[in-house]
Structure 1
């Protein structure tokens, strides 16, 4: 939906946020493949206990970075040339795919180079567990501040909601959640769902409203033509 909006409006900000959501969608798959206990005790393709957690922090850094780019680009007058919007979308998709594959390759094939954060599927220490959370919360805070200062459209407002949900999830995961299947763990899963779906639902609702208005206008136009005949 966001790539389609970029192809029509040709605003670079839309390409940035579309790429951010595509990055999230792809890296979720990589995270699931390396998650300890999902397919193998430590994850597939040589991944270890550190692979999934670093993919998790990469995943949760992607959307704040994309929103920062979106907020900085959304008020500029520069637009993409209509002849090259298709190429821009293709290059964006290819670049995001290459980035995710590169991250997946690094955390699985060079897991020994990653800082040790988890031992036996449990956080090594509170300090190391919150390092990633502090980084993501800082990026999210910057993104929220920039977007809050520049919000003008319905998409801006719901991106704020999605970003707040992401920040709440990260805060629960890095500070409050001491294990799985407790209240904080389930709350984090709920906020993940909100982050992933709220913008899509709003875009679909807006498109449905616009199409309904267009259909009503066409019906009224046809009635006027019949009455004139």
Structure 2
């Protein structure tokens, strides 16, 4: 049994190469940033707004798509990963709002922008802890939830409760928290020596667990490893930037966006892959429903559908439509003498002869059943259809069937041709009946020949059309008002 469902695919080599390049860029960029991290800069409200919006959107999209994976697979790993990204989507807007002092308009909120550091710690410790928990419920036998919605209500209800408590305790100052940011925006020793290293440790732990447990064996785990690497580098850069709104602090925000966008990219890749897979499967199902597997031609169902469609078109455009029916001569005797395997080769040979002579994309060759075939020829006169049938007859008769050991066999076929300009949809059945009657006439005439409908059929058809035309003319002359209209 496969460990993962079809929703999780193994990355190709090009994707591993891209991930390796991005990891090198994240590490190199973080290393270079540490050299200039402590250079001061100015606060930018526009940057904070764009950053907060980007993080929220990326995290909420990741949470939704991961939850969809959980609903489809029942794997608690995806549920916990969805919780991790939802945790960030809940806390990130509050943290950014505290940084920009945009919550001071609410009288009940007593937190200041200094408390944003505590919200950042809750964000950056909670996220890797949830990711670690998600990977720990994975393994050779991933845990599945039998009642997915009950698990979802319990897990996500608990997440919202914890997130609500953290936000309320911070915004309403339920606890006296030590200040981690000085008035000059410098980081305190507690942040640099205690809480910051704690954040880095949890991120490093999550990265290790993702790599060891996930083994980069599907797209989500591979990009999640990049996300955790970016989160670890963000923690290192922001802690050692020394102050808020320094160059390093801004660079850490960029790394945060990288961390948020990594799994979104993985999920988009998965969805694109699934879309292509569904399209390929639909095309395969369509071919199976409309194509004869042995001959490679259209099957009876496709012929009937196309015939009705072409009759409707011919009725609108007042054009003729022709049909050729052909039957391999003495096929039962051929099968008895040479075996069914050779009989199948014979049918494939006849189908090949038909395909080589069908030049218009509007024409359709089909296997009608057994050793019987049909060719639908829209906008084709009877004379042209008969000429094509004669050409195919010669092709079949003079093209040998090659067997093993350079053995060659030959077969012939009998053809019946019919043509009409339809006036009603039921003429589709009439065209089939007439072509079939002409085919039996060819068999009665000695086989290996082409036969058309008898002249009496044409005369009867012409008389019927003439009668309809005369009656229509009479009605128009008898009702001048209708004629004027």
Q: Give the TM-score taking structure 1 as reference length.
A: 0.88
Query: Partners of 1:88 and 1:30 in 2: how far apart?
Result: 27
1:121 Cα shift? Answer: 5.8
> Where do 4+ consecutive residues of structure 1 move more than 4 Å?
none
SS in 2 for 1:120: coil
**Equivalent residues of 1:24, 1:59 under 8 A apart:** yes
Structure 2 regions of 5+ residues with no counterpart? 1-64, 291-297, 301-485
1:115 Cα shift? Answer: 1.3
1:37 Cα shift? Answer: 3.1
Structure 1 residues 193, 44: closer, same or farther in 2, change over 3 A? farther
Query: Partners of 1:164 and 1:222 in 2: how far apart?
Result: 45
1:22 Cα shift? Answer: 0.6
1:171 maps to what in 2? Answer: 236
- Give 1:86's match in structure 2, choosing from 149, 162, 176: 149
Q: Within 5 A, what are the aligned runs for 1:1-229? A: 1-40=65-104, 45-75=109-139, 76-81=141-146, 84-110=147-173, 113-120=176-183, 122-125=185-188, 127-130=189-192, 131-151=194-214, 152-180=217-245, 182=247, 184-226=248-290, 227-229=298-300
**Equivalent residues of 1:49, 1:119 under 8 A apart:** no
SS in 1 for 2:240: helix
State the Cα deviation string for residues 164-203 of structure 1 (Å, max 9, x = none).
0011111111112534152x23321221111111101211
CA RMSD, Structure 1 to Structure 2 (Å): 2.3
Structure 1 regions of 5+ residues with no counterpart? none
Bigger-Rg structure (1/2): 2
Query: Partners of 1:179 and 1:29 in 2: how far apart?
Result: 18
Query: Partners of 1:66 and 1:164 in 2: how far apart?
Result: 15
State the Cα deviation string for residues 66-113 of structure 1 (Å, max 9, x = none).
1211221111443111xx201221222222222111111111222661
Structure 1 residues 64, 18: closer, same or farther in 2, change over 3 A? same
**Equivalent residues of 2:77, 2:143 under 8 A apart:** no
Give 1 or 2: higher helix fraction: 1
1:146 Cα shift? Answer: 1.8
Aligned positions, number: 225
**Equivalent residues of 1:118, 1:124 under 8 A apart:** yes
1:123 Cα shift? Answer: 2.6
Q: Give the TM-score taking structure 2 as reference length.
A: 0.44
Structure of higher RCO (CA pairs closer than 8 Å, 6+ residues apart): 1
